[in-house]
Structure 1
Amino acid sequence: MGKVFSANPGDIQRAARIQAQIQDIVDNAVRDFHEDASRTAGWVGRDDSMARDLGPRDEKERHGSEETGEALLEAVASMARVLNVNGNIIQGAQNDAYEAIDDASKSGRH
């Protein structure tokens, strides 16, 4: 006998809701980092040797951190979308199967 496929759309939808909550947390963290990092821009100085030495590195690290946060946010958001789509597909397949079973039992073809 072949392997049996089983899926619980309710569990998948719950996972999607959890993923959406994680997305909100990451979104807030990315936004907070951007706001906080913006307030500290220029703290390395403006015209002195320290500013010339550390300023470009500070900007690069700040920009890189923001890009990483945005990429993480997109990955989390993508997972939520994938879970929703998969849950809907599985639920639709189950509904179709139940409907076909019901139709077959009513027609006596079972």
Structure 2
Amino acid sequence: MGDVFSASPGDIQRAARIQAQLMDIVKNSVRDFHDDAARSAGWVGHDDAMARQLGPRDEKERHGTEETGKALMEAIAAMARVLNVNGNVIQGAQNDAFEAISNNASKSGRH
């Protein structure tokens, strides 16, 4: 017998909801990091050698961390969108198949 395709739209939709929840967690984490980092900005000083040496690196690391968090959030959001679309496509295909089976069964009187 040939390969069998099977899919559960409900499971796919659940996975999409989990991805959306993960996105919210990452979003909140990025926001919290930004807020906490802003409170500690300037910890290296302002005019002295330590500020000149560490300030640019500190700023670069803060910015890089936020950008990484935002990229992660975008990737998770994209995964959730893809799961939703795939779940809808699979559900539509299953609905069409069930309708075709029902139409054929009613025409022939057999199930």
Interval of TM-score (by shorter of Structure 1 and Structure 2): over 0.9
Letter in 1 for 2:38: S
Give the Cα–Cα distance (whole angstroms) in 2 for the partners of residues 60 and 106 of structure 1. 69
State the TM-score, normalizing by the size of structure 1: 0.96
Structure 1 residues 62-84: Cα deviation after superposition (integer angstroms, max 9, x where no partner): 00000000000011111111111
| Poorly superposed stretches of 4+, deviation over 4 Å | none
Structure 1, unaligned stretches of length 5 or more? none
Q: Which residue of 2 aligns with 1:89?
A: 89
**Distance in 2 separating the partners of 1:69 and 1:22:** 12
How does the TM-score come out when normalised to structure 2? 0.95
How many residue pairs get aligned? The number is 110
Partner of 1:56: 56
Post-superposition offset of 1:41: 1.2
The CA distance in 2 between the partners of 1:33 and 1:2, in whole Å, is 52
How many angstroms apart in 1 are the aligned matches of 2:23 and 2:66?
Answer: 16
Deviation at 1:109, TM superposition (A): 8.4
The unaligned stretches of length 5 or more in structure 2 are: none
Q: CA deviation at 1:85?
A: 0.6
The answer for the alignment partner of 1:14 in structure 2 is 14
